[in-house]
A and B are shown apart, each in its own frame.
Chain A
C-alpha cells in the first residue's frame, strides 16, 4: 500500500509543480482576465468531489444491501475526501466570484445546492464520528441522498437562472479555447492522481482501525 501511495503522491506532486507553468502560459479569458485561472483548480476539485460522492454512495448502497464491511470502509474514506475536495471548491469559488461577479457569495441554485451537498457529507462524517453503534447504516442512507443530489447540482446552471457559467464550458473547451484545454486536462489528471493517493491512504487507515476493533473484541470475548 505504502509503495502505491508514495508513487501516486510523487506523480501528483510533480504534476502540481508543473501546473502553474502551464496555467501561466494559458490564454486569459476575455471578460474575467487573470482571476479566471482559478478555474484550473476550482473545476477539478468539484469533479473529484463528485467522484468521491459517487464512490461513497455506491459503496454505501453495497453496504446497506449486501452488508459488506469493506464497502463501508470505502464509503467512510471517500466521504472524508468528498468533504475535503468540496471545501477546496467552496474556498476557491468565492475568491473567483469576488473579482468576476463583485460578490463573495450568491444564493443562486448552483452555489446553494453545492453548499448543501457539502453539508450532507459533513453530516455523514459527524454521524460516523459521534453517532455511536448503528450509525453506519444511518450514514449509508444519508450518503445515498447525497449522491442523488449530484445530478441536480450539475444541471442547476442550465435549468435555473444563475450567474455561474453553464455546463457547456468544459465540453466545448477543446474547440472554443484550445490553449486552456491542455492545462485543464493536466490539472484534472493531477487532481485524480492525488485523489487516488489520498483514498489509498485513508482506506488503509480505516482497515487498520477495523483490525484494532476486532482485536479489542477478541480480547474482551
Chain B
C-alpha cells in the first residue's frame, strides 16, 4: 500500500516536471505562429531563422523554477516526516508514562 502510494506520487511528480518543461519550451513558439498570413509559396532557407530558434529565457526560468520546487518540496517532506515522528514519540512517551 505504502509502495503504491510512493509510486503514484513519484509518477505524479515526474508528469508535472515534464509538463512544466514542455509548456515552458513551447510557449513562445506557439505565440509566434498565431496571426501569420496564409502562405501561397515556400521560400527555401539554409539555416533556421533566429525567431524560430528555441528561446533561451523560458528554459532558464524553467531551470530555476524546477530547482525551487525541488528545494521547497524537500523541506516540506522533511517537515511532514518530522511532525509524524514527534507525534509518535509523544504518544509513546505518554504510554510509557502510564505503564
Task: Name the 9 nearest CB pairs between A and B, nearest first.
Answer: A34-B56, A35-B56, A92-B63, A95-B63, A95-B59, A208-B85, A38-B63, A91-B66, A215-B92
CA distance A99 to B60 in the complex (A): 10
Within 8 A of B (CB), among A165-221: 194, 198, 201-202, 204-205, 208-209, 211-212, 215-216, 218-219
Given contacts A34-B57, A95-B21, A208-B82, contact A215 B63 (CB under 8 A): no
Tally of chain B residues near chain A (CB < 8 A): 30
Would B25 and A98 count as touching, CB distance under 8 A? Answer: yes
A209 to B92, CA, bound (A): 12
Residues of A whose CB lies within 8 Å of any CB of B are 20, 33-35, 37-38, 41-42, 45, 84, 87-88, 91-92, 94-96, 98-99, 130, 194, 198, 201-202, 204-205, 208-209, 211-212, 215-216, 218-219
**Chain A to chain B contacts (Cβ below 8 Å), 11 pairs:** A33-B56, A87-B70, A91-B63, A91-B70, A92-B66, A98-B25, A99-B56, A202-B78, A205-B81, A216-B92, A219-B92
- Among A37, A91, A209, find the residue whose CB has the most chain B CB atoms closer than 10 A: A91
Residues on B with C-beta less than 8 A from A211 are: 89
B96 at the interface (CB under 8 A from A): yes
CB of B49 to closest CB in A, whole Å: 16
Q: Are B60 and A34 in contact (CB under 8 A)?
A: yes
* Contact indicator A92/B56 (Cβ below 8 Å): no
Most buried by A among B56, B78, B88, B99: B56
Across the interface, do B60 and A37 meet the contact criterion of CB distance under 8 Å? yes
Interface 1/0 per residue, B68-89 and A, CB below 8 Å = 0011001100100110011011
Interface of chain B: mostly helix, strand, loop or mixed: helix
B66's nearest neighbour on chain A, judged by CB, is A91
| Given A201-B78, A205-B82; 5 other pairs, CB 8 A cutoff | A91-B70, A94-B21, A96-B63, A98-B54, A215-B93
Q: Is the CB of A212 within 8 A of B89?
A: yes
> Is there contact, CB below 8 Å, between A95 and B93?
no
Q: A100 to nearest B CB, angstroms? A: 9
Residue in contact with B64 in the complex, picked from A41, A98, A202, A219, CB distance below 8 Å: A41
